[in-house]
């Protein structure tokens, strides 16, 4: 899915349209997941639904607020930074084991109770920043809601769960890292590597810079930038900060003011989150739905296995001899042959689909025994034509009669009528020639009839076997592929 950015001068109407489009896309993805059901990994689907529901709920609350979250591990000092940036002593700062137990929020501008209720920030953990005394000084941050989130690495499981729930709703992620634990694999593996699509809405602060020896700050920042690049987050800004001596605080506030000044922060954040969901789900579908209507090879194979070639060959042979010969009968196809045809077709359909979809295709098609019974029933219902034809018989009989008349004429002429020899021979030869021609016509008619019968029998058997293949191969798989199409289309929008 292609990410769409709103320009710096996008009018409000355009932003509203973009928000509406994003909401529709999120709804389409939810519908796609519901349609796919258990054909998408349940954990993957549940996470996607939660994130999409959060995006939709956030969009419903409009784009007039910019949500910034300070995210960090235990001891990173983010609560002290929260206080330093806000200029208030509100967030908890622990002495022995610093830890943020619940989310806190500082609001610049009018109250944002609806948004904070949605973010599940307790009313007693909210503070209003601007006042009559410092409104002008804080004006650049007007409209910002800054969150101090619980420590993502806390031993309390609900802390990490809260962080996971709120991250998709945040417009700017400010990662506060400990100078000693910035390379923590848990941070990079659990969070940062999965946020490559949001690197334009991210800031990394190397906190407690006042505790580092001279020259160490630049080295650590270089190391962090390299690690971020490995996570797919190259270009993310990295700054040193300290709540003790104020290092970087003014620069952080300036960056926050830039973010607040951008239009449609909420829309761009929602777009990034929808993109991230789509990226995670991309592997749950194939590139396209396979074609299932071309089943000529399967029809031919099953018809041959039921004796079609033997019957048609015997019909043709019966028309070549001087007299009709026996015609072969159809027979039930070998179950092993039916199984090979079935499994080959199923494998061909499923080869470009993810495993869960391939398994669904396999489960939808009846077993070989069922298909064999259906093919046998249909083929045996086709009458096997007779080897001869009435027209061929009439020609043959008439030819034989003329030959007999020639013999009788000669005998009568020699014994009774005393006809001259020439008068006997000429009529006799004419009768014999006519009889031979009629016999030849009978042979030709028998061959023509045999060929026509063979073709008609083949066409009818193939038609019936094609119906069986349609009922047992194609029709059961079409609903599976339609479910796949709904989700794939939603992901590709």
Q: Are residues 356 and 403 in the same domain?
A: yes
Give the pTM.
Answer: 0.61
Whole domain around residue 231: which residue ranges? 64-263
| Secondary structure (DSSP) of 219-238 | HHHHHHHHHHHHTT-TT-EE
Q: Are residues 321 and 244 in the same domain?
A: no
Strongest mean pLDDT among 151-155, 195-199, 244-248, 450-454: 244-248
265 against 67, higher pLDDT = 67
The number of beta carbons lying within 10 Å of the beta carbon of residue 215 is: 8
Answer positive or negative: Cα dihedral of 299, 300, 303, 304.
Answer: negative
Counting residues of the chain whose pLDDT is more than 70, the rounded percentage is: 74
pLDDT-based confidence at 2, cuts 50/70/90?
very low
Give the pLDDT of residue 433: 60
Give the pLDDT of residue 251: 94
CATH number reported for the structural domain that contains residue 101 in this entry = 3.40.50.300
Give the pLDDT of residue 480: 97
Q: Are residues 435 and 484 in the same domain?
A: yes
pLDDT-based confidence at 142, cuts 50/70/90?
confident
Q: Are residues 323 and 468 in the same domain?
A: yes
The total of structural domains in the chain comes to: 2
Lowest mean pLDDT, pick from 115-119, 314-318, 468-472:
314-318
Average of per-residue pLDDT across 436-440: 55
pLDDT-based confidence at 6, cuts 50/70/90?
very low
Give the pLDDT of residue 97: 37
217 against 392, higher pLDDT = 217
Is position 76 within any domain? yes
Counting residues of the chain whose pLDDT is more than 90, the rounded percentage is: 35
> Would you say residue 351 has pLDDT above 90?
yes
Distance (Å, rounded) from C-alpha 72 to C-alpha 27?
32
> Would you say residue 10 has pLDDT above 50?
no
> Would you say residue 70 has pLDDT above 70?
yes
Q: Are residues 256 and 313 in the same domain?
A: no
Give the pLDDT of residue 424: 57
Q: Are residues 460 and 319 in the same domain?
A: yes
Is position 214 within any domain? yes
| Secondary structure (DSSP) of 27-81 | HHHHHHHHHHGGGS-HHHHHHHHHHHHHHHHHHHT-SS-EEEEEEE-TTS-HHHH
> Would you say residue 110 has pLDDT above 70?
yes
Q: Are residues 246 and 338 in the same domain?
A: no
Q: Are residues 253 and 301 in the same domain?
A: no
> Would you say residue 304 has pLDDT above 90?
yes
Whether residue 159 contacts residue 102, with contact meaning beta carbons closer than 8 Å, is answered with no
Average of per-residue pLDDT across 54-62: 78
Is position 50 within any domain? no
> Would you say residue 73 has pLDDT above 90?
no
Q: Are residues 355 and 418 in the same domain?
A: yes
Q: Are residues 193 and 305 in the same domain?
A: no
Answer positive or negative: Cα dihedral of 468, 473, 476, 482.
Answer: negative
Model pLDDT for residues 16-39, shown as the tens digit of each residue: 677 788 888 999 999 999 999 999
> Would you say residue 98 has pLDDT above 80?
no
> Edge to edge, what strands does the sheet with 66-72 contain?
126-128, 104-107, 144-148, 66-72, 172-177, 202-206, 237-240
Is position 405 within any domain? yes
Average pLDDT, the chain: 80
Average of per-residue pLDDT across 157-179: 75
Radius of gyration for the chain, computed over Cα atoms and rounded to the nearest angstrom: 42
Distance (Å, rounded) from C-alpha 190 to C-alpha 47?
14
pLDDT-based confidence at 264, cuts 50/70/90?
low
> Would you say residue 159 has pLDDT above 60?
no
Is position 289 within any domain? no
């Amino acid at each position: 899915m292609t990410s769409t950015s709103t320009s710096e001068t996008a009018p409000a109407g355009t932003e509203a349209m973009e928000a509406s489009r994003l909401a529709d896309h999120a709804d389409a993805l939810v519908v796609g997941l519901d349609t796919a059901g258990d054909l998408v990994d349940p954990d993957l689907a549940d996470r996607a639904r939660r994130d999409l529901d959060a995006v939709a709920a956030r969009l419903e609350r409009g784009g007039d607020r910019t949500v910034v979250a300070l995210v960090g591990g235990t001891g990173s000092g983010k609560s002290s930074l929260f206080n330093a940036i806000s200029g208030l002593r509100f967030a908890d700062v622990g002495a022995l084991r610093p830890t943020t137990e619940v989310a806190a929020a500082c609001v610049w501008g009018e109250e944002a109770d609806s948004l904070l209720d949605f973010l599940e920030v307790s009313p007693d953990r909210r503070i209003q920043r601007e006042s009559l005394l410092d409104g002008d000084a804080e004006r650049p941050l007007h409209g910002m809601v800054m969150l101090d989130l619980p420590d993502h690495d806390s031993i309390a499981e609900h802390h990490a769960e809260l962080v996971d729930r709120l991250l998709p709703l945040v417009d700017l992620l400010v990662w506060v890292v400990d100078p000693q634990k910035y390379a923590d694999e848990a941070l990079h593996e659990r969070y940062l590597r999965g946020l490559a699509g949001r690197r334009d809405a991210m800031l990394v602060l190397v906190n407690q810079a006042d505790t580092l020896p001279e020259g160490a700050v630049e080295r650590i920042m270089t190391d962090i930038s390299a690690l971020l690049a490995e996570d797919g987050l190259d270009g993310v800004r990295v700054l040193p900060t300290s709540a003790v001596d104020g290092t970087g605080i003014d620069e952080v506030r300036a960056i926050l003011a830039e973010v607040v000044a951008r239009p449609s922060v909420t829309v761009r954040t929602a777009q990034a989150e929808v993109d991230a969901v789509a990226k995670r789900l991309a592997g749950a579908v194939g590139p396209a739905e396979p074609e299932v209507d071309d089943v000529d090879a399967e029809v031919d194979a099953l018809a041959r296995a039921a004796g079609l070639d033997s019957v048609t060959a015997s019909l043709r042979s019966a028309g070549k001899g001087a007299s009709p010969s026996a015609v072969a009968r159809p027979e039930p196809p070998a179950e092993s042959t039916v199984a090979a045809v079935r499994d080959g077709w199923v494998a061909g359909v499923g080869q470009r689909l993810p495993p869960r979809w391939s398994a669904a295709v396999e489960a939808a098609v009846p077993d070989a025994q069922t298909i064999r019974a259906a093919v046998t029933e249909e083929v045996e219902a086709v009458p096997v034509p007779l080897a001869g034809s009435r027209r061929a018989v009439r020609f043959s009989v008439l030819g034989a009669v003329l030959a007999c008349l020639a013999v009788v004429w000669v005998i009568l002429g020699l014994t009774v009528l005393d006809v001259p020899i020439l008068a006997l021979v000429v009529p006799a030869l004419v009768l014999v020639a006519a009889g031979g021609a009629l016999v030849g016509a009978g042979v030709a008619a028998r061959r023509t009839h045999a060929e026509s019968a063979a073709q008609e029998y083949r066409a009818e058997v193939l038609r019936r076997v094609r119906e069986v293949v349609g009922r047992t191969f194609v029709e059961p798989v079409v609903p599976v592929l339609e479910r796949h199409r709904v989700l794939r289309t939603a992901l590709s929008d």
